[in-house]
Chain A
Amino acid sequence: MDCSECGPLLHALIDNELDAGHAVAVEQHVAGCANCAAELQSLQDLRRSIAAARPGYRAPAMLRAAIEARSPASHSARPNRRAVLTGFAAGAAAATALAASLALIVTRDARDDRLRAELVSAHLRSLQADHLTDVQSSNQHTVKPWFNGRLDVAPPVVDLTAQGFTLLGGRLDYIDGKAVAALVYRRRTHIINVFVVQARGTEPRAARIETVQGFNVRTWTDQGLELMAISDIEADELREFGDKFEAATRQATGS
């Protein structure tokens, strides 16, 4: 690699947009080239200066209120736990015991939020980085054994091709700093990622659908596993996918 090739890639390097191969090539060139090393340093300095200056703006409260006022349904329709908590926190004279139990809920809520955000990131990553599958097969008997020895969970892998959801394969992914199984299905042109992790509690929880950053997420538990399907398909279709997935798993295990 020479300087004319390296120059434009320095930006991609500091923006984390290079794949591992190119990143190594750029770093090797920089290690032996004082000019490019200086350029890289200067770009990094600039990025740090921008970040330190915090040049973003906060939307004025009036503007926020005006936009919130346009969707009046949100508070009245279904008060969530956090809304209840906010109201609660406003009254400062909280009983200590109650506050302690609420703190537990808050912690779990925050953890769930982070988990959901990571779920979306992992889903996006799988679509963008050209790394959808580690094992590419529409055969459940190829995909399932692939996870053996790679994870401490054995994800249920079912073939749903007949039901309109094609199994594309599986891969290892990382959620919340832990390796998890990801099963990949396709519905027409849409990708569905199913992340499988060890369930946190033992009690089975009913399936639920929610929207996170514009994606639909269906969460359910199955025999000590927690499964999270995420996709941009309609909520109804994702519900259908989850129902069929669960039905096929039950059939496979004979339970």
Chain B
Amino acid sequence: MAEGVDETDKARRFRDAALPHLDAVYTLARYLLRNPADADDAVQECYLRALRHFDSVRGSSIKPWLLAILRNVCRAEYDRRCRQEQPGLEEGQAGDAVTPMWREPEDTLEAASARGDDTERMRRLIASLPEPFRETLVLREIEDLSYREIAEAISAPVGTVMSRLARARALLRDAWQADRHEGGSDGLQ
């Protein structure tokens, strides 16, 4: 029988548990940061941190836990962008009812040209949802997390998850219908 839990064993267990969720983690990173290179970096950092804290994961499935780490990494990345590009942004945002976690970029989606493609069209519309609705929608509709798992991943009550999800779906539905009728406009405004 294995004697205790050595580092090799831990790395192997981590790999077996965490690697199957790589696409899910990467997907959330793409939607949060809206930039492939930043998403790459964030996912690598996420897996580093997750391995370090793997012993502390208890009483929950690993996917929401991984996504919560990814989210923290992305938040740090967002803070860094803000400091670099927009010093003094904090005061301006303090009074907003819904403070976007990430600043809306003009058009960082490489997909803007592929408007005929449903996948790219849907990706573009989801990506242009404001935070925190975008995140909640991605966790529910793409990552297939339950309300409780989403609540765990974003450290918010289930009631908040439900109201954000309802709002996110209403926004996305309007945008999806408008986009279809107009044959491809510029998403949500």
Contact = CB atoms under 8 A, between A and B. Distances in A.
A53 interface: yes
B26 A59 contact: yes
A190 interface: yes
B162 A74 contact: no
B5 to A, nearest CB: 7
Nearest to A47: B141
Contacts of A74: 11-12, 15-16
Given A211-B13, A214-B57, A235-B5, A11 B23 contact: no
Contacts of B62: 213-214
A67 B44 contact: yes
A206 to B, nearest CB: 11
A238 to B, nearest CB: 13
Contacts of A177: none
B15 A71 contact: yes
Contacts of B61: 120, 124, 213-215
A203 interface: no
A29 B14 CA distance: 47
Interface centre among A15, A78, A214 (most CB of B within 10 A): A214
Interface residues on A, range: 35 or more
Contacts of B44: 63, 66-67
B23 A59 contact: yes
A53 B118 contact: yes
A200 interface: no
A42 B119 contact: no
A190 B59 CA distance: 8
A8 interface: yes
B165 interface: yes
B27 A56 contact: yes
Contact of A71 (B14, B121, B172): B14
B19 interface: yes
Interface in A47-91: 47, 49-60, 62-64, 66-68, 70-74, 77-78
A101 to B, nearest CB: 26
A43 interface: yes
Contacts of A67: 19, 22, 43-44, 47
A77 B13 CA distance: 12
Interface residues of B, number: 54
Interface in A20-61: 42-43, 46-47, 49-60
Given A17-B147, A47-B141, A71-B15, A57 B27 contact: yes
Given A63-B40, A66-B44, A71 B12 contact: yes
Interface string A116-159: 00001000100010000000000000000000000000000000
Contact of B23 (A7, A56, A73, A190): A56
A15 B142 CA distance: 13
A46 B59 contact: no
B40 A77 contact: no
B173 interface: yes
B126 A59 contact: no
Contacts of B156: none
A15 B30 contact: no
B82 interface: no
B99 interface: no
B119 to A, nearest CB: 5
Contacts of A199: none
25 contacts: A8-B163, A11-B162, A15-B147, A43-B169, A43-B173, A46-B172, A46-B173, A53-B119, A55-B119, A55-B123, A56-B27, A57-B27, A58-B26, A59-B25, A60-B40, A63-B43, A67-B43, A70-B51, A71-B51, A124-B61, A211-B16, A211-B17, A214-B65, A232-B59, A239-B1
Interface of B: 1, 5, 8-9, 11-17, 19, 22-27, 30, 36, 40, 43-44, 47-48, 51, 57-63, 65, 118-119, 121-123, 126, 140-142, 146-148, 162-163, 165-166, 169, 172-173, 176
For the complex of A and B, the 5 pairs showing the least CB-CB separation, nearest first, are A53-B122, A59-B26, A214-B62, A71-B11, A71-B15
